[in-house]
C-alpha cells in the first residue's frame, strides 16, 4: 500500500514537473521584437517643461492622444529627454514606446488631485489600503497591445513619502496609487529603467498576457509601508529577469484576486518565469505568493535568486475563504544572506475584503518544490502552518542554511498541517517533511484521495 502510494506520488510529481518545466521556461526565452517605431516625438514638442516644478500632465496626455493616430501605422515613440518631468496620471495607448533618456526623471505629483480616482479591480472588490475606490496609477494602460516602457536607464520617481505618510496617519481618501498599472493588455515590455519611491506597487500587470519585465531596478526605503516591486496579478505568460529590487515590504508578489471577488473573476496567474534577480524585502518577502490568490497561481518557475537583508525569503500566504490554489511552483538556485526566515507558508492570513467571503472556500497549496538553496545568517529555516482539511504539500531538496547562532530559536523549523518530502536539508527539517514519515504518507493518501487521484482500495 505504502509503495503504491509512493509510486503514484512520484509519477504525479514527475509528470507535472516535466510539463511545467517546458512551459514556464519558455516565458523568458521568448523575446518580443523591439523594432524601432517609425514615428517619434519629444514630450518637449507638447510644451512640457523639465524643471521639476511645472506640471506636465496635459503634455503627456496630449502627446499620447496625438501618437494614438500612429497606432495602425507601425506605432510611435514618445521620447522623454533629460530633465525632471513632474506629472499626474496619464494613459498609454497601443503600439507605443515610452522612452526615458538617461537622466530623464518622471516625477509623480504629490497632490492627490493630480492622480484621479478609479474603480476597484473586480477581482478585489475594493481598494487594498481602504474600502472603496483607488487613486489612478501614474502611468496606466487599459485594453492595449504592444506597449513598451523603456529607456536608457531613465527614472520614474513616485515621490511616495506623501502617500506613505497619509497611509500611516490613516488620512487616505482612497487606496494608494501605483507607478505603472497595465490592465487587460497583451505584449507589454517594461525594461531598462529605474523606479524610485513608489506610493505602493512599482509595476502592476493585471489581467494581462505576455509581459516582460527586464533589466530594471526599483528602490523604496526600508521604512516605506507595503511598497512592492513587481506584482503579477491574474496575468499569464510573464517573464521577470535581470532586475534589482529593494522594497519596504515585498520585492515580487504574485496575486490573483481576493476571496469571493477573485473566485468569481476566476483569472489565474500562470506561466511565470522569474530569473536572475537580486532582491531585498525589509519587512516582507523577497518572493511572495498571495495572500490574494483566489483566481489561482500555477506553473511558476523561480530560479537564480539572490536575496539579502530581508525578513522572509520565499513566502506562501493564504487563508480559509480564499479558495483558489497555489500549485506547480518550482523554486531553485537561491542564495540568501541576512534573512530572518528563509521559507514561510502561512494559511492564516486573516484579512478579508468584506464579510461576504465563503468560510468553506479552502485554498489548495500543493506541488511546491524548493531546491538548491544556500543561506548565510538565517534565524529561522522554515515555518509551515497549513490549513486543517487542506494540508500544504512541499518537496524540499538540497538546502543548506547557516544559522545565526546568537538568535536562532531552539527549533529551526515549525510545521503543522503540512505534508511532503525532503532530501539533504540542513538544519534537519520537521518530521512532517521527511519522506519516511508514516504520518505524511497517510495524510498524503488523504490529500490524493480527496482530489480523486487515489483510492483507499
List residues binding ligand NAG (CB under 6 A).
34, 61, 91, 112, 140, 142, 150, 152-153, 166, 171-173, 189, 191-192, 194, 214-217, 242-244, 278, 338, 340, 372-374, 377, 379, 398, 404
Rounded to whole angstroms, the Cα distance separating 129 from 225 reads: 11
Contact (Cβ atoms closer than 8 angstroms) between residue 204 and residue 233:
yes
CB of 379 to ligand NAG, least distance (A): 5
Whichever of 171 and 436 has its CB closer to ligand NAG, that residue is 171
Whichever of 198 and 441 has its CB closer to ligand NAG, that residue is 198
Rounded to whole angstroms, the Cα distance separating 229 from 250 reads: 7
Q: Are strands 418-426 and 392-403 parallel, antiparallel or unpaired?
A: parallel
Whichever of 227 and 443 has its CB closer to ligand NAG, that residue is 227
**Class of residue 171 by CB neighbours under 10 A (exposed 0-12, middle 13-18, buried 19+):** exposed
CB of 176 to ligand NAG, least distance (A): 9
Whichever of 435 and 439 has its CB closer to ligand NAG, that residue is 435
CB of 180 to ligand NAG, least distance (A): 14
Whichever of 175 and 443 has its CB closer to ligand NAG, that residue is 175
Long-range contact list for 19-22, CB < 8 A, 24+ apart? 20/298, 20/299, 20/301, 20/328, 20/330, 21/301, 21/330
Whichever of 216 and 263 has its CB closer to ligand NAG, that residue is 216
Rounded to whole angstroms, the Cα distance separating 151 from 101 reads: 5
Residue among 330, 442, 454, 451 at smallest CA distance from 396: 330
CB of 374 to ligand NAG, least distance (A): 4
**What is the number of other CB atoms lying within 10 angstroms of the CB of residue 258?**
30
CB of 102 to ligand NAG, least distance (A): 8
User: Collapsing DSSP states into helix, strand and coil, what is residue 198?
Assistant: coil
Contact (Cβ atoms closer than 8 angstroms) between residue 97 and residue 63:
no
Whichever of 43 and 387 has its CB closer to ligand NAG, that residue is 43
List the Cα angle 415/330/274 in 5-degree steps.
125
CB of 265 to ligand NAG, least distance (A): 18
Rounded to whole angstroms, the Cα distance separating 79 from 97 reads: 8
Phi and psi at 9, nearest 5°, equal -65, -45
Contact (Cβ atoms closer than 8 angstroms) between residue 235 and residue 243:
no
CB of 332 to ligand NAG, least distance (A): 8
CB of 64 to ligand NAG, least distance (A): 8
Whichever of 240 and 430 has its CB closer to ligand NAG, that residue is 240
User: Collapsing DSSP states into helix, strand and coil, what is residue 282?
Assistant: coil
CB of 124 to ligand NAG, least distance (A): 17
Q: How many residues does the chain have?
A: 457
List, in sequence order, every residue forming a beta bridge with 344; answer none if it has no partner: 315, 383
CB of 298 to ligand NAG, least distance (A): 25
Whichever of 369 and 377 has its CB closer to ligand NAG, that residue is 377
Contacts of 129 (CB under 8 A, 6+ apart): 167, 172, 175, 176, 200, 226
Amino acid at each position: 500500500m505504502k509503495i503504491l502510494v509512493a509510486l503514484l506520488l512520484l509519477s504525479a510529481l514527475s509528470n507535472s514537473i516535466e510539463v511545467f518545466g517546458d512551459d514556464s521556461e519558455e516565458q523568458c526565452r521568448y523575446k518580443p521584437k523591439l523594432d524601432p517605431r517609425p514615428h517619434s516625438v519629444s514630450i518637449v514638442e507638447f510644451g512640457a517643461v523639465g524643471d521639476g516644478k511645472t506640471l506636465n500632465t496635459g503634455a503627456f496626455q496630449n502627446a499620447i492622444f496625438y501618437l494614438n493616430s500612429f497606432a495602425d501605422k507601425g506605432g510611435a515613440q514618445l521620447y522623454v529627454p533629460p530633465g525632471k518631468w513632474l506629472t499626474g496620471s496619464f494613459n498609454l495607448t497601443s503600439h507605443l514606446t515610452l522612452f526615458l533618456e538617461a537622466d530623464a526623471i518622471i516625477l509623480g505629483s504629490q497632490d492627490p488631485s493630480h492622480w484621479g480616482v478609479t474603480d476597484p479591480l473586480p477581482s478585489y472588490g475594493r481598494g487594498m489600503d481602504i474600502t472603496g475606490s483607488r487613486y489612478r496609477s501614474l502611468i496606466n494602460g487599459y485594453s492595449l497591445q504592444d506597449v513598451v516602457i523603456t529607456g536608457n536607464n531613465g527614472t520614474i520617481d513616485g515621490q511616495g513619502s506623501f502617500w506613505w505618510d497619509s497611509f500611516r496617519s490613516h488620512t487616505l481618501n482612497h487606496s494608494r496609487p501605483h507607478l505603472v498599472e497595465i490592465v487587460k493588455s497583451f505584449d507589454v515590455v517594461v525594461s531598462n529603467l529605474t523606479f524610485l519611491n513608489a506610493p505602493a506597487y512599482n509595476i502592476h500587470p493585471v489581467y494581462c498576457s505576455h509581459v516582460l519585465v527586464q533589466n530594471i531596478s526599483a528602490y523604496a526605503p526600508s521604512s516605506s509601508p507595503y511598497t512592492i516591486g513587481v506584482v503579477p496579478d491574474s496575468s499569464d505568460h510573464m517573464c521577470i529577469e535581470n532586475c534589482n529590487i529593494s522594497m519596504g515590504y515585498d520585492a515580487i508578489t504574485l496575486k490573483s484576486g481576493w476571496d469571493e471577488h477573485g473566485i468569481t473573476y476566476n483569472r489565474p496567474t500562470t506561466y511565470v518565469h522569474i530569473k536572475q534577480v537580486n532582491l531585498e524585502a525589509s519587512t516582507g518577502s523577497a518572493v511572495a505568493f498571495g495572500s490574494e490568490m483566489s483566481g489561482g497561481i500555477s506553473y511558476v518557475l523561480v530560479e537564480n535568486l539572490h536575496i539579502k537583508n530581508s525578513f522572509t525569503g520565499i513566502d506562501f500566504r493564504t487563508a480559509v475563504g480564499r479558495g483558489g490554489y497555489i500549485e506547480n511552483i518550482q523554486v531553485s538556485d537561491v542564495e540568501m544572506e541576512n534573512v530572518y526566515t528563509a521559507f514561510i507558508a502561512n494559511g492564516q492570513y486573516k484579512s478579508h475584503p468584506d464579510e461576504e467571503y465563503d468560510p468553506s472556500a479552502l485554498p489548495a497549496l500543493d506541488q511546491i518544490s524548493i531546491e538548491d538553496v544556500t543561506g548565510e545568517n538565517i534565524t529561522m529555516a522554515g515555518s509551515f502552518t497549513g490549513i486543517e482539511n487542506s494540508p500544504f504539500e512541499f518537496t524540499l531538496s538540497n538546502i543548506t542554511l547557516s544559522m545565526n547562532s546568537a538568535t536562532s530559536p531552539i527549533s529551526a523549523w515549525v510545521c503543522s498541517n503540512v505534508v511532503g518530502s525532503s532530501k539533504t536539508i540542513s538544519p534537519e527539517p520537521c518530521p512532517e517533511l521527511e519522506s519516511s514519515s508514516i504520518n505524511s504518507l497517510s495524510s498524503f493518501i488523504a490529500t490524493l484521495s480527496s482530489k480523486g487521484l487515489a483510492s483507499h482500495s
